[in-house]
């Protein structure tokens, strides 16, 4: 079983890697698709989605950890 701190650290590391992948991929794919590429807007969108991902990841991890302890 993971502690709450371990769950948070895992979520942060996982999402940080996703953040970097998203920033790079947006800058590569938007010009290819003909979408105007704004670094500031891309970063803001990525930060917003990253925060949602951290919350989702942490909540799901804690839920499944709690369920595992009950079984």
Q: What is the pLDDT along the chain (71 residues), one digit of tens a residue?
A: 778 888 788 878 887 888 888 888 888 888 889 988 888 888 888 888 888 887 888 888 888 888 877 76
Question: Does the model's pTM come out above 0.85?
Answer: no
Give the domain extent around 25.
4-70
Report pLDDT for 71. 64
The CB-side HSE value for 45 (13 A sphere, CA atoms) comes to: 12
11: nearest Cα among 53, 66, 63: 53
- Domain count for the chain, please give it: 1
Report pLDDT for 57. 80
């Amino acid at each position: 079983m993971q502690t709450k701190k371990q769950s948070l650290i895992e979520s942060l590391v996982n999402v940080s890697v996703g953040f970097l992948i998203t920033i790079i991929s947006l800058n590569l794919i938007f010009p290819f698709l003909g979408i105007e590429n704004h670094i500031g807007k891309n970063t803001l969108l990525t930060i917003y989605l990253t925060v949602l991902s951290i919350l989702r990841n942490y909540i799901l991890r804690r839920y499944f950890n709690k369920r595992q302890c009950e079984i």
